[in-house]
């Protein structure tokens, strides 16, 4: 009989729902051993978490993460809460000998990330961080082309992560706009994904120079019960926005490539445009999450008379993860990136090896974000602090 691992999920809003869906779908489409058992979900508001347990299909619920972690029937703790809670929940879970998956970014500060990395090493259990876009099949295909040398020497990384959900000045001061809860704004919430993708596809960043801007400095406080979601509504009183609305930076990579990163929540009409282009000596690839089943590729060795970018439909059974889903041409979506993340996590638990991006990878992402913040405060070119980890 297939083994099971009891999952305890902390958080039941947007990310809690994506993770719940992933655990439910995973064993139905992929052959995994252990298979996740949706043992308990945790949140502080009893009515909310009870509803979530019923709707999302969890066997039980807890209202205190410490009780969740104490349970013997839970082997994997999934932390899908706002950043200000990551450190405490993750460290408690690791100290209790659990495997841990944590939502991105790993922490709100580099110091917290360092403590979490140390705790993960001490625990020796499996750890990973949910930078889910790595698990889009087209991104995995880009990685394969790069690893096979088909783009040659990589020269350029160019990424944009564009959203527009807070453009309205009346949009309320949700947790994502408060430094003490979220750590940073567009930088940690969405540029973090681009940094993870850049590290995955190009390599480590050696230095950055950046800027950050907050266009709307004061916003209505959230109405009670609005829930902090992306479609929350505001009341009459206002409060200060303490994070960046937009961040942009230049980067040098250790392998000699150079990069540009732009992340904003003020790009009118761009709902969740997470895109990158990579140019190498032998070709280029371009990806846009809003067309996630496609990868644009260009190869300099193609015959001159037919040279040009072409679009690969990444829906063939031989493409990464795709064979588990539908016949060729039948596309997949955002939620599948989470199923793939959990698949690799289950394989990692079986093998006793943390799947990338590990806490160490996420620490290195955090170090880049931290360097951008220091640079934006007037530091000029700034190196991520990765010495001694
Ligand atoms: C909101 O900006 C958000 O949900 C991010 O928190 C996610 O990480 C990103 O995938 C989509 O946008």
Q: What is the DSSP string of 80-102?
A: -S-GGGHHHHHHHHHHTT-EEEE
Contact 229, 14 (CB under 8 A): yes
Phi-psi region of 99 (alpha: psi -120 to 50; beta: other; left: phi over 0): beta
Fold of 4-133: Rossmann fold (3.40.50)
Q: Which of 132, 165, 166, 189 to mutate to test the pocket of ligand 1 (most atoms within 8 A of CB)?
A: 189
Q: How far apart are CA 136 and CA 280, in angstroms?
A: 21
Burial of 128 (0-12, 13-18, 19+ CB in 10 A): buried
- Phi and psi torsions of 185, nearest 5°: -100, -115
* Contact (CB, 8 A) for 249 and 209: yes
- Alpha carbon distance 317, 139 (integer Å): 15
DSSP per position, 280-328: ESSEEEEEEGGGTTEEEEEETTS-GGG-S-EEEE--STTSTTGGGS-ST
Q: Which CATH class is domain 135-332+365-378?
A: alpha beta
- pTM score over 0.95: yes
Tens of pLDDT along the chain (389 residues) come to: 679 999 999 999 999 999 999 999 999 999 999 999 999 999 999 999 999 999 999 999 999 999 999 999 999 999 999 999 999 999 999 999 999 999 999 999 999 999 999 999 999 999 999 999 999 999 999 999 999 999 999 999 999 999 999 999 999 999 999 999 999 999 999 999 999 999 999 999 999 999 999 999 999 999 876 666 777 777 789 999 999 999 999 999 999 999 999 999 999 999 999 999 999 999 999 999 999 999 999 999 999 999 999 999 999 999 999 999 999 999 999 999 999 999 999 999 999 999 999 999 999 999 999 999 999 999 999 999 999 88
Q: Which residues line ligand 1 (CB under 6 A)?
A: 163, 189-190, 272
Residues of the chain with CATH 3.40.50.720: 4-133
DSSP line for 184-217: SSHIIIIIHHHHHHHHHHT--EEEEEEEEE-S--
What ipTM was estimated for this complex?
Answer: 0.96
Nearest CA to ligand 1 atom 10: 190
DSSP 149-194: TTT-SEEEEEEEEE--TT-STTS---GGG-HHHHSSSHIIIIIHHH
Q: Confirm if 69 and 10 have CB atoms less than 8 A apart.
A: no
Nearest-CA residue for atom 1 of ligand 1: 189
- The token pair at 117 is 């990395």
User: How far from 31 is each of 3, 57, 74, 290, 357, CA to CA, in Å?
Assistant: 11, 21, 21, 28, 22
Ligand 1 center–CA 140 separation, angstroms: 20
Q: At 341, list the tokens.
A: 């993340």
How far is ligand 1, taken at its centre, from the CA of residue 337, in Å?
13
- Pocket probe mutation, ligand 1, options 82, 174, 190, 273, max atoms within 8 Å of Cβ: 190
Q: Tell me the CA–centroid distance for residue 189 and ligand 1, in Å.
A: 6
Q: Which helix (H) or strand (E) holds 128?
A: strand 127-130
């Amino acid at each position: 009989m297939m083994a099971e691992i009891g999952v305890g999920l902390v958080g039941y809003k947007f990310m809690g729902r994506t993770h719940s869906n992933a655990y439910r779908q995973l064993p139905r489409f992929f052959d995994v051993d252990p298979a996740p058992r949706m043992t308990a979900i945790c949140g502080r508001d009893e009515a909310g978490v009870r509803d979530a347990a019923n709707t999302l299909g969890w066997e039980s619920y807890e209202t205190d993460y410490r009780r969740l972690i104490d349970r013997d029937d839970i082997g994997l703790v999934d932390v899908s809460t706002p950043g200000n809670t990551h450190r405490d929940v993750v460290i408690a879970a690791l100290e209790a000998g659990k495997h841990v998956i944590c939502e991105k970014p790993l922490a709100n500060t580099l110091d917290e990330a360092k403590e979490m990395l140390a705790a993960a090493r001490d625990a020796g259990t499996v750890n990973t961080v949910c930078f889910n876009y790595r698990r889009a099949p087209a991104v995995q295909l880009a990685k394969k082309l790069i690893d096979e040398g088909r783009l040659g020497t990589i020269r350029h990384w160019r990424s944009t992560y564009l959203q527009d959900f807070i453009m309205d000045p009346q949009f309320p001061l949700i947790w994502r706009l408060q430094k003490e809860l979220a750590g940073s704004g567009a930088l940690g919430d969405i540029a973090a994904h681009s940094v993870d993708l850049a590290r995955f596809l190009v390599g480590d960043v050696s230095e950055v120079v950046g800027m950050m801007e907050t266009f709307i400095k004061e916003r209505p406080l959230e109405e009670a019960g609005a829930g902090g979601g992306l479609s929350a509504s505001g009341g009459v009183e206002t409060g200060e926005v303490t994070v960046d609305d937009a961040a942009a930076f230049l980067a040098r990579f250790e392998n000699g490539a150079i990069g540009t990163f732009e992340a904003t929540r003020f790009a009118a009409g761009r709902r969740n445009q997470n895109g990158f282009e990579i140019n190498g000596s032998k070709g280029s690839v371009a990806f846009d999450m809003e067309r996630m089943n496609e990868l644009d590729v260009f190869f300099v060795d193609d015959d001159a008379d037919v040279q040009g970018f072409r679009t690969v439909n990444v829906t063939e059974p031989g493409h990464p993860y795709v064979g588990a889903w539908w016949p060729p041409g039948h596309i997949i979506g955002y939620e599948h990136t989470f199923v793939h993340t959990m698949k690799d996590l289950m394989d990692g638990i079986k093998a006793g090896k943390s799947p990338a991006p590990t806490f160490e990878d996420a620490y290195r992402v955090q170090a880049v974000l931290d360097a951008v913040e220091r640079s934006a405060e007037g530091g000029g070119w700034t190196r991520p602090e990765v010495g001694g980890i």
